[in-house]
Structure 1
Amino acid sequence: MSGDTVRLNIVTGPEPHQLVSLAASELGHIVNRLFGLTPTISEAPVGDIDARIELVGEAPDDNQAFVLRRTQIDGTPGLSAVGGSPQATLWAVYELAEQWGVRFLLTEDIYPDSPGAFHLPEVDKTWTPWVRTRAWRIFNCLPHSGSYWGADDYEKLFRQLAKQKYNRIFGFFRTYDAFTDYTFDGVRKRTAEISRGLRLPIHDGTIGRELFGDVNSFYNPDLPVEPDTVYEADPDTTPVNEERIAAGKRHVETVIERCHALGMDFAAGFWYTEFPQEMKKQLKRASDRHGFKPTPFKGEYLGLRIGILREGIVPEYAPYMTPMNPDFVDLVDAVARSYVERFPAVDYYVFSRVEFPAGPLDAETCWQHLSRRYGLDASLEDLVAEAVETGDVDARRCELDLCGDICQLYLLDELLNQRRIIAGSANPDAVAVIQVGTVLGRFVPRMFSNVELLASLGYTTESQADRGKVMQFAEDGNIKAQLVISLEDDNIGESPQYNAASIARLYQVIDDYQLDGYYGRQWLISKVDPAAFYMARANWDRNVTVEETYLDLVTNVCGADAVDAALAAFALGERVTLQEAANSFLVPSMVSNQFDLAEPVPESWSENIRMYEQMTTHFDQALVVSREAGKPFLERLRHQAQFAVYWHRAITDVRRAGKLRQQADKARDEAQDVESYDQLNIEVVALLDRALTDMRLATEAYARSAGDRADLGVVAALNVYGLEILDAIRKLEFIKMTWWTADGKA
């Protein structure tokens, strides 16, 4: 059999499911691309053929399993590619493509240069995933998040995720965004933003301007853009943005439809105890009107503000945000119910844990109530001690997180068990997924039925792996439990992160404690291909190693000649990831905070820069010998490493400049040493000039690596939060250098 002479028949069976029809269409495209064949696709076998691939036949009992098996019928060579469900049959086709040498990345498909003549693989194997829930996160916030993606962008990603055999998409929403709509105490939510209302203008001076098309602002293409952000929405004066709320609903519905079209479930996650400003104001009004007597919060106020949202304990509103306040419970109900009622096609509703609990008040009262109702045998004092002992943040944060979790469990008992907001809805078969800290995880199956548990062990992948033993409570199988796994962390930021080795440790946790699977945590797509490729293999083979998958990836994508150099770069990437610290959190203060911090960079940074430089060199060496199809993959990773070099250099100089600024002011104000003050001012500006040069080079490098809207968000933010802010700091420092008085008053 060779070339156009092969007559291939793809058989779907009668009245095929749309996913089986898609599988047949995909298989037809694959064999055409590989072997130049145009197969006949039919519901029943046809005669006068040379080979047959059947997508119908004896199927595995497991609805996620599939089989590839050589057959011979009446002398005609054949192959059965059949799954225990239509979705699994689609996966069987993609696995068959891999048998022919195709490799599926998150960003593209890589075909072999010389697949040879058409042939049916000699295979007789059933694939069954041991990691049962494989979820990929979308939406969320910040410039590199999915909140800036249109439905068409998501469809492309979903197709690649289907090829890597994911079975759940996790859309994480915020209560301020344009995707939800609710009313409390007669007041409808006014705020309808994405990504905390942050704006990223695009203009002729923007590095990478050509990447953005004919727009003057980086935004979600499915939503109307507003010229200005309303930072303090008011329940009386701020109008409801009907156009954007309607567009947001259409956008989410379309995304869910396209997810379901590929057989994947959709999980909608949301914060239900954090609200935009106007709703907090209305909560206080309603509570005061109804005679609620708030208890002042005592202790440290933990929280932050990014854009329109103040998270955590806000002194004015925190005393009202307690489960002991009936109006607060009603507001929580309105938020949670809005997702259930607005998006009834959702398969899972994820009640997500807030990062900074806004209402940890009355945790003792809540715990006593739950303990009496469900016989929970632990004291709050013991739980706090356990949280501190097993946590990965400071003791005070551990205590606040635990108290917030207790209050959230109390609220979930009210929402799910008493008010039955899912069971009594138009979507009663949907499953609730509860996210709480691991200390309380063991109590969830005693309180709820038909729920799953989502556990977060930390921010960075390595810290998550270090805390794996806290999941021991789940090994008895009383509840389906999943881990949050960070493919990359937003605090470390845009530098390369090679986390496959740490993820392998987390897979061991899943295996050791009989967990159901994971929810991926990531913002960027293009830089996590190596880790994602490992996960796609390890989901089905618990014994596969990171080294084996890396070798397979580079060999089949770039060619055998590129293996040594590329794997050397990957090894450096794994090393540098383990010692990276937070340095490029993509928010407006990402550079100005570094200047104000005025502290030396970590000692590891000089070594990290050297490793990034070496990675760039290794990628250059791999590019010289790579086959053409693999060069875009290597070039992307090379540019990301090069970005990290320039970024770390720039921030090193920004911090040095900030430290010198402090020394200069101290020399003038405390020692009256104006000569030192003058010289230090000159040095500050020189450092900032050098930092600007490196920041520009970093932005140019990242722009060269950009491949999707997450990358575009980084490029836009580097221009605005990086270059423009750094240039403004430099201008202010230049004024101080060129005009000053000894007393500092002019």
Structure 2
Amino acid sequence: MAVLVGRNAPRLERFAAAELCRYMAELFGVQAAPGTDAPPGAQAVLLVGRPKTNPAVARAFANGGWPKLSEQGIMLKRLELAGEPALVAGGGSPVATMWAVYELVERWGVRYLVDRDVLPPKRPWPGLPEVNVVMEPNMRIRCWRLVNDLAHGPVSWSLAENRRFLRQMAKMKYNRVHASLWPSQPFVHYTFRGMEKPPGVLYFGMRYPIDADTIGGEKFAGMTEFTNPEFVGAGSAEELRRRAIRLVRGILGEARRLGMQIGLSVQPFEWPKEFMKVLPGSESAHQLGNLTAGPGRTQSLEDPLLGEMIATIVRAYIETYPDIDLLHVGTPEHRGWIGQAEEAYRRLDERYRLSDLGSYEQLCATAQSRTTFPGGGQRVERMLKGDLAALWLFDSLLRDKQLLRRPDGGSDIKIVYNGVVAELFPLVARMVPPGGEVLSFIDYTASRQLHQRELLRQVPPRHVPASLIFTLADDNVGVLPQLA
């Protein structure tokens, strides 16, 4: 048995070949190691890669037949090579080749779960399967959100646990992750008007002591208070921050090694409430823990300190995590900056010609009519008003301050407008810079989204990549209730 990979193949293709050998040993007891040439007498040959990266694949398709594949397309094909049975697992890119190998392994009976593989009983080698498939994804963006801030979620996972999870996601052909970071957490640091960002906290400031009476406390060795294992023993706010940044960089680095795009989700319109001392007009935000502030209800669109604060936050994240592909920019879950909405709409109309959205009053009436959303039409209208002000200001900052430039001068980081109210999809489609995207939030759960199918038809035009996010587990909804 031979597994062939190109001598100068990309790292992911060499990794895929090693994974193929590992699974063959576990499933069939077949011992093989990746090589560049088939040994004499090999009963079967498995080729990993593409014609441009694996000379053996190029020979196998010397007379043509290699399919037209996108960067995400995969192929499994049974054929002969020098008169011997062979099978090619390849794709339109190194990561797609890896997906092709995992697709083959799945066809051998392995099932990938988020925490482990489920393998069928070990059996003798069955021979190469008769397979000839070309696959392209229906969904080009397949993303998982990590970090977050609830104690039962991934913010409590060690780096090792995150790496294990990401490797399972890669087997399921996920091609993107973004780390959702919250304003009060220790994952970034900055100074504004001479004031340093306060020490960060997890879990929206909630604390979970562990003592002798804690059921299962023995599972948390060394902890007197539940936290991320990476943070145990951090003796100062500075040490905690270093460990926190190292954790997120490690998560993003592992995702990158697995061929995924990486991004951050940030909330530049919220900041630790201690900054209210140096940012007049800001007000406490409505969010778990009561830890943050944001623009006051009637704070001016032209407030220079407000613009400076938002730019400071964005630049701090980019300078801390300069290798990200995408920056997801969101507005507060519970919008508070609503008093400038009408003026913001007027200015946006001047900039983007919004006659198809109707007047400001008509737009508000449309939002009020969406009564199926949790909180009813009044909450949707409030979201609309808050988003109008935030979009105008952020768009202005993008134009004036080069917010998305990389520290090393490379190409700008791409922006994803995250969770903008659905009634403003046509506006966001016009605002997105080249290469930008929209992440749409229709409602919290899959079933609630299906109850609002009319909004799903209003996704941004095709020239703007759009994806949809919904909740698997939150503080008020879990997996089991959704499956009931």
Q: TM-score of the superposition, structure 1-length normalised?
A: 0.59
Greater CA deviation, 12-21 or 317-326?
A: 317-326
Distance 1:249 1:492, change over 3 A: closer
Give me the whole-angstrom Cα distance separating, in 1, the residues matched to 2:292 and 2:404. 29
* Number of matched pairs: 462
The reply to whether residue 189 of structure 1 matches residue 220 of structure 2 is no
Q: Is the 8 A contact 2:18 2:33 kept in 1?
A: no
Q: Is the 8 A contact 1:432 1:452 kept in 2?
A: yes
Map of 1:711 onto structure 2: none
Distance 1:491 1:222, change over 3 A: same
Superposed displacement of residue 60, structure 1? 4.2
Give me the whole-angstrom Cα distance separating, in 1, the residues matched to 2:336 and 2:308. 16
Map of 2:362 onto structure 1: 382
The reply to whether residue 329 of structure 1 matches residue 311 of structure 2 is no
Superposed displacement of residue 225, structure 1? 5.5
Mapping for residues 463-542 of structure 1, pairs under 5 Å = 463-474=448-459, 476-493=461-478, 496-498=480-482
The reply to whether residue 171 of structure 1 matches residue 154 of structure 2 is no
Identity over aligned residues, as a percent? 30
Q: Is the 8 A contact 1:433 1:452 kept in 2?
A: yes
Q: 1:449 aligns with which of 428, 433, 446?
A: 433
Give me the whole-angstrom Cα distance separating, in 2, the residues matched to 1:117 and 1:18. 28
Q: Is the 8 A contact 1:384 1:399 kept in 2?
A: yes
Query: Cα deviation per residue 1:284-330 (whole Å; 9 max; x = unaligned)?
Result: 2xx6xxxxxx9xx9xxx9x6453352567xxxx72575533221111
SS at structure 1 position matched to 2:457? helix
Distance 1:226 1:475, change over 3 A: closer
The reply to whether residue 270 of structure 1 matches residue 263 of structure 2 is no
Query: Cα deviation per residue 1:137-182 (whole Å; 9 max; x = unaligned)?
Result: 1111111122111211100000110111100011100121110111
Map of 1:415 onto structure 2: 397
Map of 2:63 onto structure 1: none
Give me the whole-angstrom Cα distance separating, in 1, the residues matched to 2:129 and 2:225. 50
Superposed displacement of residue 251, structure 1? 1.6
Q: Is the 8 A contact 1:276 1:308 kept in 2?
A: no
Superposed displacement of residue 54, structure 1? 0.3
Map of 2:48 onto structure 1: 55
Map of 1:44 onto structure 2: 37
Map of 1:91 onto structure 2: 99
Map of 1:10 onto structure 2: 3
Map of 2:387 onto structure 1: 405
Give me the whole-angstrom Cα distance separating, in 1, the residues matched to 2:82 and 2:151. 59
Superposed displacement of residue 348, structure 1? 0.7
Give me the whole-angstrom Cα distance separating, in 1, the residues matched to 2:252 and 2:477. 30
Q: Is the 8 A contact 1:322 1:360 kept in 2?
A: no
Q: Give unmatched runs, 5+ long, in structure 1.
A: 1-7, 228-239, 288-293, 499-573, 577-746
Map of 2:54 onto structure 1: none
Mapping for residues 606-617 of structure 1, pairs under 5 Å = none
Q: Give unmatched runs, 5+ long, in structure 2.
A: 50-56, 58-65
Map of 1:104 onto structure 2: 112
SS at structure 2 position matched to 1:112? coil
Give me the whole-angstrom Cα distance separating, in 2, the residues matched to 1:122 and 1:350. 44
The reply to whether residue 249 of structure 1 matches residue 245 of structure 2 is yes
Query: Cα deviation per residue 1:358-378 (whole Å; 9 max; x = unaligned)?
Result: 322211111111111222223
SS at structure 2 position matched to 1:349? strand
The reply to whether residue 29 of structure 1 matches residue 22 of structure 2 is yes
Q: Is the 8 A contact 1:65 1:88 kept in 2?
A: yes
Give me the whole-angstrom Cα distance separating, in 2, the residues matched to 1:424 and 1:383. 37
SS at structure 2 position matched to 1:268? strand
Distance 1:414 1:34, change over 3 A: same
Query: Cα deviation per residue 1:418-452 (whole Å; 9 max; x = unaligned)?
Result: 32211465453421000211111111222232210
SS at structure 1 position matched to 2:231? coil
Aligned residue type for 1:14: R
Distance 1:165 1:322, change over 3 A: farther
Structure with larger Rg: 1
Superposed displacement of residue 59, structure 1? 6.3
Aligned residue type for 2:204: R
Superposed displacement of residue 102, structure 1? 0.8
Report which of the two has the higher share of helix: 1
Distance 1:199 1:225, change over 3 A: farther
Mapping for residues 641-680 of structure 1, pairs under 5 Å = none
Give me the whole-angstrom Cα distance separating, in 2, the residues matched to 1:126 and 1:18. 23
Q: Is the 8 A contact 1:305 1:311 kept in 2?
A: no
RMSD of aligned C-alpha atoms? 2.3
